[in-house]
Chain A
Amino acid sequence: EAQVTQNPRYLITVTGKKLTVTCSQNMNHEYMSWYRQDPGLGLRQIYYSMNVEVTDKGDVPEGYKVSRKEKRNFPLILESPSPNQTSLYFCASSFLRPGGELFFGEGSRLTVL
């Protein structure tokens, strides 16, 4: 089954404790992206990757890091989480640049205390 898998789905952590949200897709997609979703603000792009070893900032990259060492994986790293990073995070992928359909993961709800 074609899918984008994120883990963990739910996480409560404390300020400053490094965490990684993993994302993996099994569709051989070149393009992957991270979004955060906050009430009243819609989805905002954090980082994206056009291909292996190619990543770039989206609209709200501060406080986040990513890597793309393999085509299928695109982890999101919060080196020192802060309460304003409490949000619902989505990983998404598409076959080419995102002119086509984006496939989304189920989301990771993160709470930073």
Chain B
Amino acid sequence: SQQGEEDPQALSIQEGENATMNCSYKTSINNLQWYRQNSGRGLVHLILIRSNEREKHSGRLRVTLDTSKKSSSLLITASRAADTASYFCATDDSGTASKLTFGTGTRLQVTL
């Protein structure tokens, strides 16, 4: 079952611009994570934000979490062509102990 739904499904920006992706989920969570996937490759963990945190930074990444709205956003500042990839949110649901539930992803294209 899908928990996270990313929005938009696809995003195209120019190098240097900021990219914002959103994730909505349905149930209570322990934490929410963002992953990156280069075309057809394995997913790579970017950042984790716990349910009691509202904002977290890592380099050019900024993640926010609003548990009242069950939503999160990932901001990539000063995008580079190398940021071109698909980005997935994943939730660690409070009610299950078995898995992260992934959304369907946002495909980001950064052009020169």
Contacts and interface: CB of A to CB of B under 8 A. Distances in A.
B5 to A, nearest CB: 9
Contact of B100 (A50, A102, A107): A102
Interface residues on chain A, size class: 20 to 34
Nearest to A92: B43
Contacts of A100: 48
Contacts of A48: 98-99
Interface residues of B, number: 25
B40 A107 contact: yes
B30 A99 contact: yes
B97 to A, nearest CB: 5
B108 to A, nearest CB: 16
Interface of B: 1-2, 30-31, 33, 35, 40-45, 48, 88, 90, 92, 97-105
Interface of A: 4, 33, 35, 40-43, 45, 48, 50, 56, 58-59, 88, 90, 92, 97-107, 109
